[in-house]
Structure formats: structure tokens, C-alpha cells
Amino acid sequence: MFESIEELVQRAQDNQCTISEIMIAQEIETSGRTRTEIMNQMRLNLETMEAASVKGIQGVRSHSGLTGYDAKKLQAYIEKKNVLTDDIFVKALCYAVATNEVNAAMGMICATPTAGSAGVVPGVLLAFSEKFGSTREEMLHFLFTAAAFGFVTANNAMISGAEGGCQAEIGSASGMAAAALVEMAGGTPEQASQAFAIALNNLIGLACDPVAGLVEIPCIKRNAGGTSNAISAAEMALAGIVSEIPADEVVETMYRVGRSMPADIRETGIGGLAGTKTGKRIAKELFGIDR
């Protein structure tokens, strides 16, 4: 079993294979299941992601009434053919927002690595699989690559906003998506690790500050932010740019920063944006409480 990103990359290099294959092999070894069983489970995850994105784009409203229909707006914006960047980039944002709007509406999503950050990985995957014309098998491998980096992060730091702030949720998801995108684009295991490091170090110290304690504001839009961050990190890594701080040290840093964060900015709905005048007003209107 690999315990670090350095070891993960080294194994892939030694075996002259992708990171996704290393993760699949580990799942076979540790679970005792067959490759077919493991692939079928990941296929179910992929189908869940696809269904959530479709539902979100059609338009959903959260139970609180605070959020909804932004993915539908993004889809309409794409269809006008006047986006500032390109359709694929904005589609990635759209799919990410759609997924988290479904989460806020109590729909079914696939936590990657958490429900609050569930939009980033599918946002990148679904948009770029369209760009590359990826097969179902290639899409599944994307998810296994993302899982490998998530596995290391969860075991060596944290993926919970309550424990380490939003850096642990959106930050981890963004790094996972960046690494997987690099592999999907034909990059090397080393480039995937660089993309992960760049993406995560961009979000070190990010507070988890849900308004009224609900995973809606600013969480849904942060999924779009994490998605754009993942894409930019992948672009840099594929260009040959490296993170001066190695990936494992970035993970270690996230852990230390998370441990030093005040409780107010660790998913308590007290500090950060939740502690603004508007944030407090929303909490009082919804729940009749003063924060």
C-alpha cells in the first residue's frame, strides 16, 4: 500500500503504468474484490455524477431557498455562444455548480471527497471527457487517479471542513481533479503530482464558513472556483511548471494549517463569510438564532 504521493508516483514509474492502475491494483489487494467488481463500483459512482449534473442543469432549488438555478443560468450562457473563455471551461463550472446545487437540494451525489466539495471532480471530468471524446473506461480511470490522491490526502491530513477548513474539502478536491486531468490529457505521473501540489497550495488556508451552517453559501460557488483552479494547475503542470514545494509537503502543510485554524472558521457557521452582517441576517431569518 502506498502511503505518500512520492511513493505513488514512484510505483507508477517503476511499473511503467498510470497512477490509476496503481490505485486499481491497491483496491484489488486490500478489498479482495475482482477488477470487474471494482470497476463496476466506480461505474456506479460515475453514473451518479452524471445524473446529478443533468438534474442540476435542469434547475433545482435548495430546501432553504437560499440557492438554486445557477447551473441552469450557466448552461443558458454557454448556449448564447459568447463566453469569455471557451465552452469546455464554462461547462466544467456548470457541471460543478449543478452537482452542488443537487447536494443542497438533498439529491443524490457522489462525495469526492466530501458532499460539500462534490462538484469539482465531476465538473472537470464531465467537461474534459467531452473535449477528449473519452471512453467510459478512460472516465473511470480519471476517477481512480483522483481517488489515489484523495487517499493519500485523507490518510496524511484531512478532507473534512470541520477539521481543517475548506482547504481540506475544496482544496483536496481541486488537487484530485487537477492530477486526474493531467493523466487524462496524457501527462506523466510526475506531472500529475505537480498539478496536485499546485492546485492544493493555491488554496492553503481557505476557511470553511457556511452561512447559517448550510453547505450552500459560499460552498456552491467555491466548487466552481476549485474547478477553475484545478484546470489552471493542470495546464501549468502539462507545460512543465513544477511546484517548488513537493506534493507531500503541501499535504503536510495543509494539515498543520488546518490544526491551527480557529474553530470559528472550521464549518461552525460562525466566522468568515458566515460572520458578516448579511450572513448573520440570513441565519436569523432561517433559524431565528443570533450567531
3-state secondary structure 178-222: HHHHHHHCCCCHHHHHHHHHHHHHCCCCCCECCHHHCCCCCHHHH
Integer Cα distance of 230 and 115 in angstroms:
18
Over the stretch 21-53, which tens digit does the pLDDT of each residue have? 999 999 999 999 999 999 999 999 999 999 999
Q: What is the pLDDT of residue 290?
A: 79
Q: What is the pLDDT of residue 289?
A: 81
pLDDT of residue 150 exceeding 90: yes
Over the stretch 166-175, which tens digit does the pLDDT of each residue have? 999 999 999 9
Integer Cα distance of 122 and 100 in angstroms:
10
Integer Cα distance of 69 and 66 in angstroms:
11
CB atoms within 10 A of CB 235: 16
Measure Cα distances from 67 to 56, 73, 100 in Å.
12, 12, 10
Q: What is the pLDDT of residue 242?
A: 98
Integer Cα distance of 197 and 39 in angstroms:
27
pLDDT of residue 16 exceeding 90: yes
Proportion of the chain above pLDDT 70, given as a percent: 100
Locate 135 and state its grid cell.
Answer: 471512453
Integer Cα distance of 80 and 99 in angstroms:
22
CB atoms within 10 A of CB 264: 15
Nearest to residue 180, comparing CAs of 149, 153, 214? 149
User: Which one-letter amino acid corresponds to residue 57?
Assistant: I
Question: What is the topology classification, in CATH, of domain 5-286?
Answer: 2-methylcitrate dehydratase PrpD (1.10.4100)
Over the stretch 97-129, which tens digit does the pLDDT of each residue have? 999 999 999 999 999 999 999 999 999 999 999
pLDDT of residue 291 exceeding 80: no
Over the stretch 68-77, which tens digit does the pLDDT of each residue have? 999 999 999 9
Contact 140, 153 (CB under 8 A): no
On average, the pLDDT of the chain sits at 97
pLDDT of residue 12 exceeding 80: yes
Per-residue exposure over 34-51, b if at least 16 CB sit within 10 Å of its own CB, e if not: eeeebbeebeebbebbbb
